[in-house]
Structure 1
Amino acid sequence: MEGGLNHRLENFQAALGRLTLSPPPEVSTRKLLEEDWANTWKQYYKPVHAGQRIVIKPSWEQYRAADGELVIELDPGMAFGCGSHPTTSLCLKLLEKYIQGGERVYDVGTGTGILALAAAALGASRVVAVDQDPCACRVAVENVARNRVAGIVQVVQGNLLDKINGGAHLVVCNIISDVIISLAPAASAALIPGGFLIAAGIIRPRAGEVGNALAAAGLDIRERLEEGEWVALVAEKR
């Protein structure tokens, strides 16, 4: 176990080095009991406002919604996606813009289910949330039940777009550049003509490469948003 952790740390440090960030990040480590991490971080997680209307509220926090706000109650558990990371924030802003109501949406790499839940809250008629991590799927199922949208959102464990049948008005992928590039043909195949792909988790130096891969798959870039070093692209199927 210790050797495996050291190997992962070395890979992580090598990946950071390839990001060409200035100044370069420093990595420090210390041992924590899993149950300590699972509870002590909660004191730092507060309601997050994303976009114009969406509020992400931790399940243990009280929050009084203002008129017009859409409140999503979330318990991240050990899955990724609580609304505060720039890549998630970019996706939420774009979902607000591109979901008009009645769409079929695929959330690829759903994590906590946050983007699928947002799509449902914004008016999507059907949302399929896919992740290959069984832990993430368990968390997502719990969050779907917590937000009472089980009739709209289906959580599927599988190898990302392998579980997708097509006919989507919108596909959202908040993953990493390499995975988006590899999934571009399948994402295009899943969309109806005129449907949109929202791709995030892209670092700025690789945005052009991702855009080229999307174009090669029949997806034309329509919008680009940035926050810090992160980029989100919106592409429309020809």
Structure 2
Amino acid sequence: MKWNRYTIDTTTAAVDVVSSCLGDCGIEGIEIEDNVQLSQKDIKTMFVDFIPDLPPDDGSARVSFYLDADEDNDEMLKKVKEELEDMKSFMDIGPATITISQTEDKDWINNWKQYFHPFSVGDLIIKPTWEEYTDEMKDHLVINIDPGTAFGTGSHETTQLVIRQLQKYCKKGDKVLDVGCGSGILSVVAIMLGAESALGTDLDPNAIIATKENAEVNKIENGRIEVIEGNIIDDKAVQDKAGYECYDIVCANILADVLEPLSEEITRHMKHGAIFMTSGIIDMKEEEVVNKFRENPELEILEINHNGEWVNVTARRI
């Protein structure tokens, strides 16, 4: 299916008004492009760990909308132009010129698969479910993963940091808690390394589905990996379901702004001597997270590791 993309050149100050105008015309979806940096409030609200390096904001912006290329869009386009001309009479909306281009509807859910290929982390090979086994995999532990629409192929630096810690600390018979489990890859790796069981938690219902499917595709027995939807930081039902002082290992590959409050809650679920391995920390937030961990008298930091601009902090419950 082909779409016509109509891009309006406007100003950052007029973006909201232009967007509202398009809505009044019956256009439901829009795309906004500008160079306005996120505020600190925005960053905290959205749990953004890092922001793109944008050029200086020159006050210009672009608002785009899409219409079916196979339909007659003349009436809609005429209506939009009339509305823009009307707005020009009482406020500065920039040139308000409209540029037309064409794009094709793509299978965004599956197109990314062309970039996900088997790779190794230590002696472990992570293989997408749609790839074939090769002779090179025979002497390795192979994990099959299909993240679906949940986060977690294992290829990201943050995930690899935690996988390496699991390879170092996970022992036969361990009970593992995987906070923010995503595709369930860390739970699967832990079981394959000898853990007795893993419980995953996540806010995304897609993670629940993906984790169960990845346990099944790796032929992990029913019951060894469980997963529940919810926030263990402040949801009493999730906390009770997880249980207290019963885990040998806790994994948390999530954002720094979530790890900080988690560090206050998580020790209640860990055995004394249990390992808490975290990642998802951008290097500029390393000191902040480390200091937060040190505020908990029950946590002793064992290691701080780096992979590119990402950081792993591994601690032990005293």
* TM-score, scaled relative to structure 1: 0.86
Q: How many pairs align?
A: 229
Counterpart of 1:58 in structure 2 is: 128
- Output the CA distance in 1 between the equivalents of 2:215 and 2:37: 34
- Output the CA distance in 1 between the equivalents of 2:257 and 2:302: 21
Structure 1 counterpart of 2:198, one-letter code = V
Counterpart of 1:132 in structure 2 is: 203
Deviation of 1:39 after TM superposition, in Å, equals: 2.1
Deviation of 1:183 after TM superposition, in Å, equals: 0.8
Counterpart of 1:171 in structure 2 is: 250
Larger Rg: 2
Structure 2 residues not aligned, in runs of 5+: 1-27, 56-63, 67-102
2:116 equivalent among 28, 40, 45? 45
1:56 aligned counterpart, secondary structure:
strand
Q: Deviations over 1:63-101 (max 9, x none)?
A: 23232x211111111111101100001011111001021
Structure 2 counterpart of 1:63, one-letter code = Y
Counterpart of 2:275 in structure 1 is: 196
Q: Deviations over 1:107-130 (max 9, x none)?
A: 000000000000000000010011
- Output the CA distance in 2 between the equivalents of 1:127 and 1:17: 28
Alignment of 1:191-230 (within 5 A): 191-217=270-296, 218-230=298-310
Deviates most, 151-160 or 109-118: 151-160
- Percent identity (aligned): 34
Query: Once superposed, what is the RMSD of the aligned Cα atoms?
Result: 2.9
C-alpha contact 1:109 1:160 (8 A) present in aligned 2 = no
1:95 aligned counterpart, secondary structure:
helix
Say yes or no: does 1:159 pair with 2:195.
no
Poorly superposed stretches of 4+, deviation over 4 Å: 9-18, 30-35
C-alpha contact 1:207 1:231 (8 A) present in aligned 2 = yes
* TM-score, scaled relative to structure 2: 0.65
Deviation of 1:19 after TM superposition, in Å, equals: 3.6
Deviates most, 33-42 or 132-141: 33-42
Alignment of 1:74-85 (within 5 A): 74-85=145-156
Deviation of 1:11 after TM superposition, in Å, equals: 8.2
Structure 1 counterpart of 2:204, one-letter code = D
C-alpha contact 1:132 1:160 (8 A) present in aligned 2 = no
Say yes or no: does 1:104 pair with 2:175.
yes
Structure 1 counterpart of 2:243, one-letter code = N
Alignment of 1:111-122 (within 5 A): 111-122=182-193
